[in-house]
Amino acid sequence: MAPPVPDRGEAPLERPQACGLRQWTVPEGLDAERADRVVSSLLEVSRSVSKRLIEAGRLIGPHGRKLKPAERVDAGSLLWIGDPPERKIRPEPVEFEVVYEDEHLAVVVKPEGVITHPGAAAPSQTATLAAGLLHRYPQIEGVGLPNRWGIVHRLDRATSGLMVTALSELAYRELGDALRRREVKRLYLALVHGEMETARGAVEAPLGPDPRRRGKRAVVAGGKYALTRYRMVGSRSDPPLSLLEVELETGRTHQIRVHLASIGRPVVGDRLYGGRPDPLGAGRMWLHAFKLDFRHPANPSEQMRHHSPLPPVLGRRVVGMSGV
């Protein structure tokens, strides 16, 4: 990519990538919005944090110049934005189940309510899975990205279930490549409101930041490609609920939750995208990553298959459901 062209008589800027900035495209839903609101939506940070980033010169516009917080930006424009500062993660004793481990990787069950790693929305969050992994496997420091050592994919805070984590550089590289090639099979169990019209189906719709509410995702024009497949494995009519086996073909933020809500079948207990009370009273969101299949990164001929049953608080409430 050629260096940005300077504008308004300013001196040419160094390549944004060399300054540690990441490239973003302004989605349609943020057309003609203030720069500080755009940064807030894209990075999922507060307006005050986005304003400080911009005032520190960490936002470069499409003409290679630093933008101001109140400037308007157009949909489709390329921006280069610096990440908000993160505090260094410290090892902490966090409870999680280990279903498999060797010198290269560990397959763990993330509990509901535990954040996978600190991020832009919660840079100072403690008691994360990443902190727990660093406590149990101190050798992973330096494997992957800072503050998320060993993490190759994530689960939402309200989602429980299986995750594979890298304990070696080889595993981090190979597992990351396998995820990008969609060679890692991830299956979830989700209880949704309503009865499905068909036993099998798919939702194929682009996802991006919700232009109306920070921290949410939505189906938006110009968003990232996303595909979710589902199969009904159980149901009940009073109240109408469907238990789905869901497979991710892509791995976008909140993908399952947004896609199912977009077809009128929100996940039960999902306060962000559902907005309906849980008729079964589980006290949590009904989404659990129960199956994970992949090839071992150090021995591709070895197929790894792992299964995690529904947590008891969910499992006992679907006993007797038709099809289960």
Q: To which residue do tokens 């659990």 refer?
A: 288
The residue from 156, 210, 270, 278 that is catalytic is 156
Rounded distance between C-alpha atoms, residue 167 and residue 102, angstroms = 8
Contact 201, 247 (CB under 8 A): no
Rounded distance between C-alpha atoms, residue 47 and residue 33, angstroms = 13
What is the distance, to the nearest Å, from the Cα of residue 299 to the centroid of all Cα atoms in its chain?
Answer: 28
How far from 257 is each of 30, 44, 75, 81, CA to CA, in Å? 22, 17, 26, 27
Neighbours of 80 (CB within 10 A): 22
* DSSP designation for 221: T
Whether residue 239 has a cis bond before it, omega within 30° of 0: yes
Q: To which residue do tokens 């994919």 refer?
A: 153
Rounded distance between C-alpha atoms, residue 38 and residue 29, angstroms = 10
Exposed, middle or buried: residue 24 (CB in 10 Å: 0-12, 13-18, 19+)? middle
Is 36 part of the annotated catalytic residue set?
no
For residue 148, what are the contacts with CB-CB under 8 A and spacing of at least 6?
Answer: 89, 116, 117, 118, 130
| Residues acting as catalytic residues | 156
